Structure 1
Amino acid sequence: MTIERFLERATPDWMHVEDSYSDIVISTRIRLARNLDGYRFPLAFSEDEALQVEQAVTHAIQDSTKLEEIFSYFSIKDLSHLQRQILVEKHLISPQLASKEVVGSVLLSSDESISIMVNEEDHLRIQCMTASFQLQKAYEQANKVDRALEVALPYAFRNDFGYLTSCPTNIGTGLRASVMMHLPALTLTGQMNQIINAMTRLGMTVRGIYGEGSENLGNVYQVSNQITLGKTEDDILADIQSVAEKIIQKERQARSKLMDKAGLALEDRIYRALGTLTNARILTSEEAATCLSNVRLGIDLQLINHVTAATMNECIVSMQPGFLQHYAGETLQPTERDRVRAKMLRETLSEEKLSKSMIRGKGEDSYDV
């Protein structure tokens, strides 16, 4: 497939899932860090070694009889800055890989659920994603790819340490499990700092929507494990499962309390956000993210029924700078991006309105906004 195929939509079809967790959990990701034995790690290797690693990995994937997926190969240096940026916005590659100017590449499955990054911080980063809260499914998918590649590739491994990686925090299983959650009520009630501190004590980390170093955008947070050494894969998955379930429970409790104690104010906040998204001519990324978060909360609380959570998920990605410029078909300055962002969101919500009839407020008559 061509790179344009992966730039067409902000979210793939498998993201459009509704289950008992999808009101809070957006997606689940499993990432395995691996290095090839006999090669220096990416922090110290030469361009020639990088090329050898890339060829070995690519051949192993193409020649494997155990992988059912068909992968498309893209060399990072052959992609434009905008194309790289969009892949980052879609969580298909990391910002670190996007910044590579030497040999680095990515192999993507056709449905975008599997991304294999080559020569990022480690020789291999196997990433598998699922919609909502499906840790075991994502791990089984990642483990299947890992086992298929291990048949052909000699991994750097020691019995006393496990898988060897560039960063000490990944040594051991090399497994990072993360759950991306929308937590507006915990944020509004000022509980997130307490939760973040508690997560740190439990060996977990809470980051923004684009991982390490990124800011919280639209009340979306990633919760992931920090420790990979001394724990089995099952231990890590069980820890993340338990912690995420507790956060989900707390978010639901916070939403219920907000509706009970400040229901009218919360509804007003939600409908004002919807009014801004459907009428504004200029929207910064911060204001748009806040409004999208409030509207999504309204959807989850069943105050808004003419817009879907899947549409909100797509808007969160497509309002990012890379997608906006792809949508506009030209390079945009920041002020122009604010104008195009507002236009794109107005058009998206107008299309939704054509297919759904109206908005209902709790205890109110029907509204047509």
Structure 2
Amino acid sequence: MSIERFIKQGVTGWMTSEGEHADIVMSTRIRLARNLVGYRMPLSFSEDEAHQVDQQVTAVLLEAGPELNTNFTSLQMGDVQPLQRQVLVEKHLISPQLANPDRPGSVILSDDETISVMVNEEDHIRIQVLSPGLQLMEAYQKANQVDNILEKDLPYAFDERFGYATTCPTNTGTGLRASVMMHLPALTITNRMNRIIPQIARLGMVVRGIYGEGTEALGNIYQVSNQITLGKSEEDILTDLLSIAEQIIQEERTARHTLMTNSPTALEDRLYRSLGVLSYARLLSTDEAAKCLSDVRLGIDLKMIQDIDMSILNELMIFMQPAFLQEYASTELKPRERDVFRAKLFRERLQMDHRKKGEPGGE
């Protein structure tokens, strides 16, 4: 399967708006960091070592596809154009680090894009599984299955006392990073996130933006993940994160109820104004698109807006990103040109949804 298939397809398997608490938890991610015995870590190894590691990991996974009920495609980052690498980042299929052109890395993707194995990123192997909604245990089981297949044929660097050896000491131990991507507009609107984030940190978890460390909460979307990997079992990490996620879900539901009870007209006005911007704007920046998408998503979840399909919003969440937008346009676009093209794309997609339902959607 070619790179074009992964680039052109906007909505991936983890963006189906399914799974438990899908109105708030957009996706669950499990990531396992592993390294092989006999090779230096990726930050200091040679190109020959990188090539050998890549060959071994790729060979095992390409053969294991049927066992995992999927097919795998291996993409060498050196063969992927810079803009296409950024699209893969925007779709959460690779990390920003792997997109670095100086890294001799690759990614092995399942057909439905729910399994992504990065090779020679910060560690030799980064197994990533993405699932819709709150599915921590289910996603971990799938990641663990991939891990077992690799470990059966490849010698992992593992110590009985300290666990899996990793490039970054904060990943040593289980090598597990679990996260939930949550849409928390009501907590943001009511300024409660400023109180919740420090509380989460004291419990050994961290809150980051939509693309992980160092990124902002674009469109009121936050990632909550574990910080501690050493001294705790995988089950303990997942149980603790699940408990915190469920508490945040309850806080968000309470905040939504408060908004609807105290100022329903003002809330409805805000949500429909955002829908109007997405439907008719001629200039649309990434930040404004993300804010308006968040409002419309909230409107759908609260059943205040009932004539928009959530799958369209999931698609537009990817389409609005700068790299995907330019790839979709088949040309490089300056910032102002991107804002014009983004607005045009949003108008067309929303009108298409109206026409599909037999509703008036012309301008």
TM-score category of the 2 structures, normalised to the smaller one: over 0.9
* Residue of structure 1 equivalent to 2:75: 74
What letter corresponds to residue 46 of structure 1 in structure 2?
Answer: S
Taking a change above 3 Å as real, the CA distance of residues 259 and 67 of structure 1, as seen in their structure-2 partners, is closer
What letter corresponds to residue 171 of structure 2 in structure 1?
Answer: N
- Asked if the contact 2:219–2:291 (Cα under 8 Å) also holds between the matched residues in 1, the reply is yes
Which consecutive residues of structure 1, in runs of 5 or more, have no partner in the other structure? 360-366
Is it true that 1:21 corresponds to 2:28 in the alignment? no
Deviation, structure 1 residue 310 = 2.3
- Asked if the contact 1:25–1:182 (Cα under 8 Å) also holds between the matched residues in 2, the reply is yes
Q: TM-score, normalised by structure 1?
A: 0.95
Cα distance in structure 2, aligned partners of 1:338 and 1:155: 47
Taking a change above 3 Å as real, the CA distance of residues 74 and 20 of structure 1, as seen in their structure-2 partners, is closer
Deviation, structure 1 residue 69 = 2.5
Deviation, structure 1 residue 258 = 0.4
* Residue of structure 2 equivalent to 1:165: 166
Is it true that 1:244 corresponds to 2:240 in the alignment? no
Deviation, structure 1 residue 66 = 4.2
Give per-residue Cα distances to partners, 1:118-144, cap 9 Å, x unaligned.
000000000001111111111111000
Question: 1:7-46 residue pairs with structure 2 within 5 A?
Answer: 7-13=7-13, 15-46=15-46
* Residue of structure 1 equivalent to 2:225: 224
Give per-residue Cα distances to partners, 1:201-230, cap 9 Å, x unaligned.
111011111111111100000100011000
Higher mean C-alpha deviation, range 348-357 or range 123-132: 348-357
Cα distance in structure 2, aligned partners of 1:344 and 1:102: 34
What letter corresponds to residue 91 of structure 2 in structure 1?
Answer: K
What letter corresponds to residue 76 of structure 1 in structure 2?
Answer: M
* Residue of structure 1 equivalent to 2:280: 279
- Asked if the contact 2:17–2:23 (Cα under 8 Å) also holds between the matched residues in 1, the reply is no
**What SS class does the counterpart of residue 97 from structure 1 fall into?**
coil
Which consecutive residues of structure 2, in runs of 5 or more, have no partner in the other structure? none
- Asked if the contact 1:66–1:148 (Cα under 8 Å) also holds between the matched residues in 2, the reply is no
* Residue of structure 1 equivalent to 2:59: 59
* Residue of structure 1 equivalent to 2:310: 309
Cα distance in structure 1, aligned partners of 2:149 and 2:104: 23
After TM superposition, the runs of 4+ consecutive aligned structure 1 residues lying more than 6 A away are none
- Asked if the contact 2:34–2:126 (Cα under 8 Å) also holds between the matched residues in 1, the reply is yes
Deviation, structure 1 residue 358 = 6.5
Taking a change above 3 Å as real, the CA distance of residues 190 and 17 of structure 1, as seen in their structure-2 partners, is closer
- Asked if the contact 1:35–1:156 (Cα under 8 Å) also holds between the matched residues in 2, the reply is yes
- Asked if the contact 1:305–1:356 (Cα under 8 Å) also holds between the matched residues in 2, the reply is no
Deviation, structure 1 residue 355 = 2.7
* Residue of structure 2 equivalent to 1:128: 129
Taking a change above 3 Å as real, the CA distance of residues 187 and 218 of structure 1, as seen in their structure-2 partners, is same
Query: Alignment RMSD, CA only?
Result: 1.7
* Residue of structure 2 equivalent to 1:49: 49
The count of residues paired between Structure 1 and Structure 2 equals 362
Is it true that 1:195 corresponds to 2:201 in the alignment? no
Question: 1:358-369 residue pairs with structure 2 within 5 A?
Answer: none
Give per-residue Cα distances to partners, 1:258-310, cap 9 Å, x unaligned.
01001111100001001111110001111111111001110000011111222
**What SS class does the counterpart of residue 31 from structure 1 fall into?**
strand
Deviation, structure 1 residue 326 = 1.4
* Residue of structure 1 equivalent to 2:105: 104
Cα distance in structure 1, aligned partners of 2:314 and 2:63: 36
Cα distance in structure 2, aligned partners of 1:198 and 1:308: 35
